[in-house]
A and B are shown apart, each in its own frame.
Chain A
Amino acid sequence: MTTRLPRTIPWMTIAFALALFIPIFGTRFYTSVATDVLILGLFATSLNLLLGTTGLVSFGHAAYFAIGAYVCAIAMKTFEVPFLLALPLAGLAAGAAALVFGYFCVRLTKIYFAMLTLAFAQIVWAICFKWNDVTGGEQGFNNVPYPDLAWMEVLPGLSRMRVGELYFYVTLVVVCLCLYVMRRITNSPFGRILTTIRENPERAEFVGIDVRRFELAAFVIAGLFAGLAGALFGIFNRGVFPDFGYWAKSAEVLIMVILGGMGQFFGPLVGAFTLVVLNQQITSYTEYWPLVLGLLLIVLLYAFPAGLLGTIADLVKSLRGRRNA
């Protein structure tokens, strides 16, 4: 072997540092888009723990996003629970729901598993839609308060910032912490076992793995992080609506994961970024955004099945290989 290049450029730290400047140099619009991307990136990454790592296709991941969003919003507005408590509560509630629904889902495989996740998600949507007294029903749960962020103005550079910009920093820190934890989990021995289940469940069973139990654990972890993303999004959006749990939302997050590349840890984040930005840009030119999205997906699936980041990673790998040869 030749002298190794420093393989790990601290991309995460660099990206984090750059992101800190977005509210300072960017407009309110950019800050808002960045917050959106971060939250949906977290949501998509949580789905990829199932899709890319464990090989489970969920058509109902939005259910846990919606549960997190409603629990956090209701706790903060109706019960005046502080954000620092409401956020973990939202994650735990979504995780608990994933434990109950997942218990049944992992008993099925493949398309039956996917259909059952969809069925549970539609139940969650229907409850949010009809339970007027608690969720606000069809009208949604509006005027979700921002957390009290006045204390942040003491921090250097953050005085005089609007609450929306301060909330961007809160989102940035929470999302980065969550991504860090999920990355540790993905690279842990537990994560390795999840990949063996993706690769060959029969063999995994006969190295002594209780496949269903590990699938359920992955399902709960993914649900928990989706719930945290939902909680952040409800506040950012100033309101929570039944559509958060609708199947279209589940499809959207699935598209983000595939667009960015499910074989890469940061693929879903790239997918979320691409989808949000494209949506913003294209809807300002034409009302046919779904048409453009459809065409884009067709090209992607044929030309770059590994997704955007996956294709780049493969390219870098082959360039490196050529240089070493």
Chain B
Amino acid sequence: MLEISGLRKSFDGFVATSDVSLSVARGEIAAVIGPNGAGKSTLFNLITGHIRPDVGTVHLEGRDITGAAPHAICRMGMGRSFQRANIFPKLSVFENVQAALIAHRRAATDLWSASRDIFRAETHQLLASLGLGPQAEVTGGTLSYGNQKQLELGIALAGEPKILLLDEPTAGMSSVETAETIGLLQRIASERELTLLFTEHDMDVVFAIAHKIAVLHQGRIIAVGRPDEVRADPEVRRVYLGEQHA
């Protein structure tokens, strides 16, 4: 599904990622973990076209997407949520998701129909599956932080992605919201046969849902494998898990 090989990016001499290779198979739930500044967000930005790599390639379903524009990569079936909830704050919840549907279904060049009337059923259905149905008419920016992240997930899902990249999906959430979000992600991933790649600080979340974990440290991948393998890896224990479980 997603094939990353030899990605390298430096900013003014500071090497943010170095020789990062990772592959994610169809239907897999993969996590990238690592301490702050390990290069997780840079890696995501390299994959989604927000930053061009110096060296290396990214393939999505066999197609080379290295250096393509973010909107083009999005159109090829990649969805993304950002680390801080990234929605359209002054539009209603309904309009947020509907706009994403308009973009995805190529209705955006329609200058004449009333936008109010299109994709109503689809939008409400998607909102209902996220548990945001009752808040459809609320202004997006006034939602609780957890709900805003759910809304952002809705925006991403409206694009019917094959693969979804989530940058810290539970960051800033209460423990209740975190539990809800984990349940939601697992349900949606299996319902839609989604491939997921996410970064996360909360190790409970990672070990609860990931099939595969890659550990990033100082811009390099130091271990990849099943959760139990990664947990047992001595180097991982030393540089990363050790810091917390010492």
Contacts and interface: CB of A to CB of B under 8 A. Distances in A.
A187 B71 CA distance: 23
Contacts of A211: 71
Interface of A is mostly: helix
A205 interface: yes
B75 A208 contact: yes
Contact of A192 (B102, B104, B155): B102
B25 interface: no
A205 B45 CA distance: 13
Nearest to B85: A203
Nearest to B95: A192
Contact of B80 (A189, A200, A206): A206
Given A199-B88, A200-B86, A205-B71, A190 B159 contact: no
Contact of A188 (B74, B95, B113): B113
Contacts of B114: 187-188
Interface in A194-234: 195-196, 199-200, 202-211, 214
A185 B112 CA distance: 6
B158 to A, nearest CB: 7
A245 interface: no
A317 interface: no
B93 to A, nearest CB: 13
B48 A187 contact: no
A214 B107 CA distance: 13
B91 A199 contact: yes
A46 B81 CA distance: 34
Range for the number of chain B residues in contact with chain A: 35 or more
Interface string B96-126: 0011101110011111111110100000000
Given A199-B91, A200-B87, A207-B99, A184 B158 contact: no
A260 interface: no
B35 interface: no
B45 to A, nearest CB: 11
A255 to B, nearest CB: 23
Nearest to A188: B111
A208 to B, nearest CB: 4
Range for the number of chain A residues in contact with chain B: 20 to 34
B70 interface: yes
Contacts of A203: 82, 86-88, 152, 155
Interface in B110-164: 110-116, 118, 152, 155, 158-159
A188 B158 CA distance: 19
B69 interface: yes
B111 A184 contact: yes
B242 interface: no
Contact of B86 (A188, A191, A193, A202): A202
Nearest to A200: B88
A208 B115 contact: no
Contacts of B109: 190
A189 B118 contact: yes
Nearest to B113: A188
A299 B152 CA distance: 38
Given A203-B155, A211-B71, A188 B91 contact: no
Interface string B46-87: 001000000000000000000001111011000010100011
B26 interface: no
A189 B108 contact: yes
A195 B75 CA distance: 20
A206 B87 contact: no
B90 interface: yes
B234 interface: no
A190 B108 contact: yes
B89 interface: yes
Contacts of A184: 111-112
16 contacts: A184-B112, A187-B114, A188-B110, A188-B111, A192-B98, A193-B102, A193-B103, A195-B95, A199-B90, A199-B91, A203-B86, A206-B70, A207-B158, A208-B75, A208-B104, A210-B69
